[in-house]
Amino acid sequence: MKPASMSDYRERARRRLPPMFFEYIDGGSYAEETLRRNVRDLESIALRQRVMRDMSKVDLSTTLFGQTLAMPVALAPVGMAGMYASRGEVQAARAAAGAGIPFCLSTVGVCSIEEVAAAGTPPWFQLYMLKDRGYMRELIARARDAGCPVLVFTVDLPVPGARYRDVRSGFTGLSGIPAALNTVWQGATHPAWSWDLFAHGRPHTLGNVQAAVGGGRRVNDFLGWIARNFDRSVTWKDLDFVRETWDGPIVIKGVLDPDDARDAVRAGAQGLVVSNHGGRQLDGVSSSIAALPRIADAVGGDLELLMDGGVRSGLDVLKALALGARACLVGRPWAWALGAGGEPMVSRMLGVLRSELTTAMILTGCAQAASASTELLDVAAP
């Protein structure tokens, strides 16, 4: 059966990937209420169907930070994508380039900035504020030298949220022989994934932080270094440090509160991602789509506004545009598609997303994605 919806890609990924990697993609923090809320709140928004309008021409394109996007979507940073398919970040970046949209590379990607940039279009680069400021400076310089056009600075992870699925699957909480046996068993029971990853996907390190970790050889060695280097003392003043090395657009990712959004504007950010980290940090907070209108009212005219969290269709993208976003970052759907079958599946998934968005625009009478507004929403719907 060919995958038709995002849930189909999810199911294919669930079957193909070892549980420890599928649950890492799929799960949220604590009871996962925010993870569910992200999806549920988007589903509850009703579009306003319109008829008898000339929709022979529909324009999905938009402009962000001087780049023209074929549709208002970018691939969000997803950690360790190179463990879902061989050299996964490169495969996803090629699919994004083929669809005419940006790919954002995670700090904790298996493939390095240089490897992804060499494969085609230089990615946006996502960065955490680390205690090791010297290594941060090196990472920013590498992103600049590789031609990365945008720096996405994630601010909602001073400490990782409690992710129970990762403990249950053995992704975290195990060490030594138990950890090794768990990995071997899960790999042996998923032979197609193992062949792809171990025959074609080496090395299994985190390319952007390899030099800092030194002798680390396993993914968990790198994750331990990252966890120890999250900086709880970071403030808006620390953006001055980033600006010393980076002179391109800075996008702040992980804001849910209008006051924080105003602080981002005052700190000189050019973009903002309304995000709760996909429900992977503080559980019980607002969904991204619920927070979006408040932030759009507060700062929508001062910077480029994006949203991520819960987007599962092109209809969801249109709803976010109607509520003030210029574009959506999509995370889990591309990770599921990559885990389901690599670059071809990511390309197919993006085609589905584009088709769904086109149909939604036609049936709501929206000829241009860039001009979407609340006029597209049925505010009287229950």
Q: H-helix or E-strand containing 173?
A: none
Helices (H), the chain: 6-16, 19-26, 33-43, 88-99, 113-118, 133-145, 164-169, 176-188, 191-200, 210-213, 219-229, 239-245, 258-266, 288-299, 314-322, 332-364
Nearest to 296 by CA among 324, 257, 277: 324
The DSSP string of 243-303 is HHH--S-EEEEEE-SHHHHHHHHHTT-SEEEE--GGGTSSTTS--HHHHHHHHHHHHTTTS
What φ, ψ does residue 218 adopt, rounded to 5°? -115, 155
The one catalytic residue among 190, 200, 204, 277: 277
Tokens at 53, concatenated: 């309008």
- Give dist(CA 240, CA 218) in Å, integer: 34
- Give dist(CA 276, CA 142) in Å, integer: 28
Q: Is 190 a catalytic residue?
A: no
In the chain, the N- to C-terminal Cα span, in Å, equals 35
Tell me, what amino acid is at 38? N
Tokens at 34, concatenated: 């925010």
Nearest to 328 by CA among 348, 314, 349: 314
Inter-CA distances, 61 with 100, 323, 367, Å:
9, 17, 11
Over its C-alpha atoms, the chain yields an Rg (Å, rounded) of: 20
Nearest to 275 by CA among 289, 264, 263: 289
Inter-CA distances, 57 with 210, 320, 365, 368, 369, Å:
48, 22, 11, 9, 12
Contact 34, 28 (CB under 8 A): yes
Q: Annotated catalytic sites, by residue?
A: 277
